[in-house]
Amino acid sequence: MKKKIIFWILTVVITLFTAVYQRTTGPTYPKSFKLSLDGSEHKFSLPRSQNGFTDCQVKINLADPTITGKVVYRRYPTSEPWDTLNFNREGESLIAWLPKQPAAGKLEYKVELFQNGSVLDIPGNEAVTVRFKDNVPAYVLIPHILFIFTAMLLSTLAAFFAMGNIPSYKFYVGLTLLFFILGGMIFGPIVQKFAFGEFWTGFPYGKDLTDNKSLIGFLAWTIAWVGNRKKDRKYLVVIAAIVVLAISYIPHSARGSELDYKSGDIKTGMIHIP
């Protein structure tokens, strides 16, 4: 019993750490910046993903009314001339709206801030890219996320139980496979369909890394499940868990869908740059 408790604790810690890593990395999460102003440090972030059917809000909280700014932007990837949006002040915030793009369309943009006409230095202030996607209903997105992270948790737990010679590891192998099917192979494609109009853009139809990660996890645990049905092959469970852990640390949406503005087609396997 003590060994099981230790395994559960280790599993929860590893899963939570992985969840935080997934939440704070990858090219679709907001990019943070720091601005030194009058001896104080101000933090702000710029969006790199926009849901729904609305323009993308760029908001910077700076109470000083002498600070103004603008956003320069263009469609990505193109060599079009840059357009300019001026920030509007609303209370203590500067707000601008980047125009809505079709699903998988991207804009690259950069903010410029001024105080009394002088340019403010923003360290690392390079253009960032925001990708637009159609709205994914919560009743689809939430189960997808819950099933995937449950599969990750069960994957690690099954490996610990296998290494600890706990017979119930086979039960958790089956559960892990079930949740990978639900989260990655059923709800994952539904999320993809809502967001970008296609159910599956991984192998063999495309190079979408998120879809391929789901496929790899599903195959790894299918092999582990089949291999342990009639005989103990615990090494397959450990290998499957290592595979899942490895792909979990590949940033989410690192090679996702991207609209080709010239052809109007959505391509996959494209690196969504910062």
89 burial level (CB within 10 Å; 0-12, 13-18, 19+): middle
Query: What mean pLDDT do residues 158-183 have?
Result: 93
Q: What integer best gives the mean pLDDT of the chain?
A: 87
Q: Are 110 and 59 in contact (CB under 8 A)?
A: no
Q: Are 256 and 270 in contact (CB under 8 A)?
A: yes
- Tell me, rounded to whole angstroms, the distance of Cα 132 from its chain centroid: 13
pTM of the full predicted structure?
Answer: 0.80
- Crossing angle of helices 169-180/209-227, nearest 10°? 150
- pLDDT given at position 255: 59
Q: What is the pLDDT of residues 44-63, one digit of tens each?
A: 899 999 987 789 999 999 88
More confident residue, 11 or 3: 11
**Cβ contacts of 27 within 8 Å, gap of 6 or more:** 48, 129, 131, 251, 253, 254, 256, 271, 272, 273, 274
Q: Is the pLDDT of residue 205 over 80?
A: no
In the chain, the domains with their CATH numbers are: 2-26+136-271 (no CATH), 31-132 (2.60.40.10)
Q: Is the pLDDT of residue 274 over 60?
A: no
Q: What is the pLDDT of residues 56-84, one digit of tens each?
A: 999 999 888 888 999 999 999 888 999 99
